[in-house]
Every structure is written in structure tokens, then in C-alpha cells.
Amino acid sequence: MQALTHRAKQVNRSPMNFWERLYLPAIFQGMSITLRHFFKRKVTYNFPEQQRSFSPVFRGLHILNRDAEGRENCTACGLCAVACPAEAISMEAAERQPGEEHLYREEKYAARYEINMLRCIFCGLCEEACPKDAIYLSETFAPSDYERKQFIYSKQDLLIPHPINEPEEYKKALGNRAKPEDKS
């Protein structure tokens, strides 16, 4: 029979000789292997005290971005919802009223913006689709919960902290993945 892969290994089916039938050498060999592992350096991280850094391409929870003055970038164009392969994003648009210019950057904004984290597959296509750089995926992952409805994240959950009122939280939430300011 032809081997299916080049890694296939021929098993030796010849009858065992006396030394092999004693089994003791094989047992000692196995025990030496486990003893070697006994003294090996352990690769486990002691999780809460010692955390692994995320890789630069990690895609976690979504964040709705604001610009430097703290105005929401999102203009509720719906491109992210169209791009989403899991259909996790839904939104409702509203028109910006006079006097709200400090809240919303464009004339149109998202009154309601929801992402169902149980549907989301964290592919990052919404981030690529967004023309306004309003949504990107951060370096945290969705925490567990007891109820399904808790996983539908509203706009309040997703919005990044205000850069002027809460600069520290903003910086923390921004992470390393936000695009440089001058591009927007």
C-alpha cells in the first residue's frame, strides 16, 4: 500500500526478542522520560499575577472611537453592519440637532448601536469597513456572564471614555491598535 503522507512510519511487527519481552528496559526508558520532564522548566503562566501580553494582531472587544475633542466618530452609515459576516451589528441613525456639535462629529450619528457578542466572531471586518475610523477591535475579550441579554453590548458599553474629561481611561482604552490621530 502506498503511504498517504510522507510522514507515515512503518511499524515494526517482528516478534520481540528476549530483552524486549522482559519489558523492563522499556519501562526504565519511559521512567527516564518522565523524570526528565520532572526537572523541565514549566511553561505555565500564573495567570492573575502574571499575564501574557496580547499579540499585536489580537482582535478583542469592539470600541466606538471619539476624536481628539471627544466627539463620536460614528456616522451610522451602516457599512460595518453590511460587512459583518455574523450579522451581529445593528444600529439606528439620528440627525444631529443644532447645539450638539460637541457630541457628534458628523451631521448624522448612531442613536442606537448594538453588537451581539454571542454572534460576533471577532473577524475585524467592521474595522476594515469603517470609513470614519469609528470602530476598532481592542485588546480585551468579552467577559463571561449568566444571561444572554448581557452579551448585547449597547453604545454606552462600547464607547471609548472621553479624551478630555477622562484622559487616563481614554489612554488605557485606546491601547496600541488605535490609528494615529493625524490620519482621521
Partner 1 sequence: MDNSLLAIDMALILEKLVLIVVVVFASLGIAMYATYGERKVAAFMQDRRGPNRAGPFGILQPMADGLKLFFKEEIIPNFSNKILFVMGPCLAMLTAIMTSAVIPWGNHIEIFGRSVSLQIADVNIGMLYIFGVLSLGVYGIMIGAWASNNKFSLFGGLRAASQIISYELAMGISFIALLMVTGSLSLKDMVLQQQTGHWWNVVYQPLGFLIFLICAFAECNRTPFDLPEAENELIGGYHTEYSSMKLGFYLFAEYINMFISSAVMATLFFGGYDFPFVDESTLSPNFAALLGIVALMGKIIGFIFLFMWVRWTIPRFRYDQLMYLGWRILIPLALFNMLATGAAVLYFHK
In the complex, which residues of this chain contact partner 1 (CB under 8 A)? 27, 30-31, 33-35, 37-40, 42-44, 46
Give the nearer residue to partner 1 in terms of CB position, either 24 or 164.
Answer: 24
Cβ of residue 41: shortest distance to partner 1, in angstroms?
9
Nearest 5°: the CA angle 66, 166, 122 is 45
d(CA 176, CA 164): 19
Residue 131 C-alpha cell reads as 470609513
Cβ of residue 51: shortest distance to partner 1, in angstroms?
16
Give the nearer residue to partner 1 in terms of CB position, either 46 or 51.
Answer: 46
Cβ of residue 26: shortest distance to partner 1, in angstroms?
10
Contact call for residues 77 and 131 (beta carbons, < 8 A)? yes
Give the nearer residue to partner 1 in terms of CB position, either 35 or 68.
Answer: 35
Cβ of residue 32: shortest distance to partner 1, in angstroms?
9
Cβ of residue 37: shortest distance to partner 1, in angstroms?
5
Give the nearer residue to partner 1 in terms of CB position, either 48 or 99.
Answer: 48
Give the nearer residue to partner 1 in terms of CB position, either 37 or 148.
Answer: 37
d(CA 2, CA 28): 35
